[in-house]
Structure 1
Amino acid sequence: MPAAVRGGSQTQAKPLGKAPPNASKRPSAKRPAAAAGPRLDGAGVSPKVALAASAGVLVLAVVATLGTGGRGERLGHAISAGVDSRFGQAGFRLRAVHVEGASAMATQDIVAATGVYKDQPVLGLDLEGVRQSVEKVGWVKEARVVRLLPDTLVIAVVERKQLAVWQHNGRTMVIDERGQPIPEADPGRFPTLPLVVGLGAAEMAPGILPTLAQRPRLMERMEALVRVDNRRWDLRLKDGSIVQLPAVGEEEALMQLEQLDQRSHILELGFERIDLRNPDVVAVRPRQAAPAGQLVAEGA
């Protein structure tokens, strides 16, 4: 059988990258020195002052738009641009993204999917669009996005639980608790996940792995769970032994194996094959000893 190489919490993302070229601020014309008093072009301005100034911008934008026609879309763009610009000058620009509920491996992909950048106007962020983009990431089951003024975006996610590593047709990938692949997950970084092999193994694994997990003696000896003809399972153990399970009644068959192990410690003694496909008969094929005088290679 081909071998596979296989190997939340609140996480703060790395500093945001620079804004794309088209998002850079246009150089503003020089203005004469203003009289002493509150300034609107610095991060130290209070939200009340910034809001009052922005209200004035909105009024001017509305008047200008109504005077030039195109009252619908133009009005919306003028209002949005005015709010973003003035609040951006007042310090309401994106400085940090916090991701909650995701592992360190998932966080980088989540932040990349948002499409946000450093110094982007916070009030102009499309929170629903960001949420939809985040939920397209394979790691993410669901997400919630919150704008935390003046300069932070908080993304709370429910991460999909990694169930097993699936191997088929020369490809290996991590699957979740529903048997769906997680494309961004590197199988090599999940060495403790069980290995399931074959056509249909991913879809059927959620049905049997919880049952196997209740039998730690068997799980610690299992190398892979192999789907046979997409209708039943073979358990391949690390010592080369095979346990053949039936197409139906898998849990009952595993209980038979458990009872057999309690009586004879067969999992420790070793065997070539145990056939549990017939519920009325348990067939055990002992491991054949090497003929007298024949050397056995180390590790065989």
Structure 2
Amino acid sequence: MQPMTAPQQNKPEAQRRDPAPSRLAYKAHRLWLTPVFRAFLRVGLPVFIILMAAGWYLANPTNRYAIGEKLTNVKRSVQERPEFMVKLMAVEGATPVVDNAVRQILPIDFPISSFDLDLERMRTEIMKLDVIEDADLRIRPGGVLEIALTERQPVILWRHSGVIDMLDAGGHRVASLLERDARSDLPLITGEGAAEAVSEARAILDTAGPLRGELRGLIRVGERRWDVVLKTNQRIQLPAENPVAALEQVIALHQAQDLFGRDLSVIDMRNPQRPTLRLGDTAMDELRRIKGVQIEEVSQ
């Protein structure tokens, strides 16, 4: 081994290799240590690549149609499973006529998926029937569409414009009749605005119980008061305010003095403080005859 020469031993320090990183490497190392940059490389860049690939794939109309068809088929395969199929409809609480009307309004082709039934829309259609007060729709286990109905109960008849309508306790139309005898068990009202005062009419009819066998009906006058009409064509004109009390007064007078057994055409109670009696034609003729006799006797 040769001994080191003097020039090799005295080599300048500047020619030795610098262990420090370059400026570019230093900046790259610092960038890699940045949390945002590392998160971008781990998450942002893969997501960006996936979105770009998906956008390129979906830009083709054929691919979009194929995906839509696939999703539709999957959806239908789930919706048409046996446990979701409705096989028949049951209408509860309805008369045969209403039952048939409901089935005509909802012409459903069974079997059908429960996902294809819009129960709220169906209920809205059923509620358009005047006779229906309430409707509840639900799908029972076993694939049965149950429609529970509550029908309006007619309590009075309203004759208007040549038509006879059955009304419930709230004055809502239930159905129409071709003739009065079809529901002779229900009382009759007539006149403009009578349907809006059904509750008052019923109170008057309840009070007129002793006259029920002689009662023909009620007439609404001026949309503010009632006339009670009897089968003998006698009429009780009631006031607009507190008509029940006025009718009670008339009935008490009748029970005491057989008021309606007399030849009277009108009992005017529009002013309860001053009741007025109007005689019938026969009584008026007799009264005129008596007055004529009295006048002749006076002149003689």
Whether these two folds match at TM > 0.5 is: yes
8 Å contact 2:131–2:173 — kept in the other structure?
A: no
Q: Structure 1 length as normaliser, TM-score?
A: 0.63
Deviations 1:185-206 (Å, cap 9, x if unpaired)?
Answer: 4354433222211211111222
Give me the whole-angstrom Cα distance separating, in 2, the residues matched to 1:79 and 1:225: 66
8 Å contact 1:165–1:187 — kept in the other structure?
A: no
8 Å contact 1:165–1:174 — kept in the other structure?
A: yes
> What does residue range 274-293 of structure 1 map to in structure 2 within 5 Å?
274-289=267-282
Q: Does 1:140 align with 2:125?
A: no
Deviations 1:173-224 (Å, cap 9, x if unpaired)?
Answer: 2222222323x44354433222211211111222221332243222332212
1:186 paired residue among 159, 177, 181 = 177
8 Å contact 1:95–1:151 — kept in the other structure?
A: yes
Distance 1:238 1:259, change over 3 A: same
Secondary structure of the 1:162 match is coil
Q: Does 1:234 align with 2:227?
A: yes
Q: Does 1:86 align with 2:81?
A: yes
Give me the whole-angstrom Cα distance separating, in 1, the residues matched to 2:209 and 2:137: 40
Q: Does 1:110 align with 2:102?
A: yes
Runs of 4+ in 1 over 6 A off after TM superposition: none
> What does residue range 102-251 of structure 1 map to in structure 2 within 5 Å?
102-122=94-114, 124-182=116-174, 184-186=175-177, 188=179, 189-251=182-244
Deviations 1:246-292 (Å, cap 9, x if unpaired)?
Answer: 12120111111121122123345563211111111222234343879
- Higher Cα Rg: structure 1 or 2? 2
Deviations 1:123-173 (Å, cap 9, x if unpaired)?
Answer: 642222222222221111221112123242221222223232222222332
Deviations 1:92-114 (Å, cap 9, x if unpaired)?
Answer: 442342322x3444333233333
Distance 1:122 1:185, change over 3 A: farther
One-letter code aligned to 1:85: E
Give me the whole-angstrom Cα distance separating, in 1, the residues matched to 2:78 and 2:210: 64
**Equivalent in the alignment of 1:57:** none
**Equivalent in the alignment of 1:17:** none
Secondary structure of the 2:173 match is coil
One-letter code aligned to 2:206: A
Distance 1:85 1:279, change over 3 A: same
RMSD over aligned Cα, in angstroms?
3.1
Deviations 1:57-98 (Å, cap 9, x if unpaired)?
Answer: xxxxxxxx9993459xx95x55653244332xx894423423
Give me the whole-angstrom Cα distance separating, in 1, the residues matched to 2:231 and 2:161: 22
Distance 1:97 1:186, change over 3 A: farther
Q: Using the TM superposition, name which of 155-164 and 248-257 deviates more.
A: 155-164
8 Å contact 2:237–2:269 — kept in the other structure?
A: yes
Q: Which runs of 5+ in 2 are unaligned?
A: 1-62, 287-300
Secondary structure of the 1:220 match is helix
**Equivalent in the alignment of 2:27:** none
**Equivalent in the alignment of 2:266:** 273
One-letter code aligned to 1:152: V
Distance 1:251 1:214, change over 3 A: closer
> Across the two proteins, how many residue pairs are aligned to each other?
221
Q: Which runs of 5+ in 1 are unaligned?
A: 1-64, 293-300
Secondary structure of the 1:131 match is helix
8 Å contact 1:239–1:270 — kept in the other structure?
A: no
Give me the whole-angstrom Cα distance separating, in 2, the residues matched to 1:244 and 1:93: 60
Q: Which is bigger in relative contact order (C-alpha 8 A, separation at least 6)?
A: 1
Q: Structure 2 length as normaliser, TM-score?
A: 0.63
Choose between structure 1 and 2: higher helix proportion: 2
**Equivalent in the alignment of 1:68:** 66
Secondary structure of the 2:80 match is helix
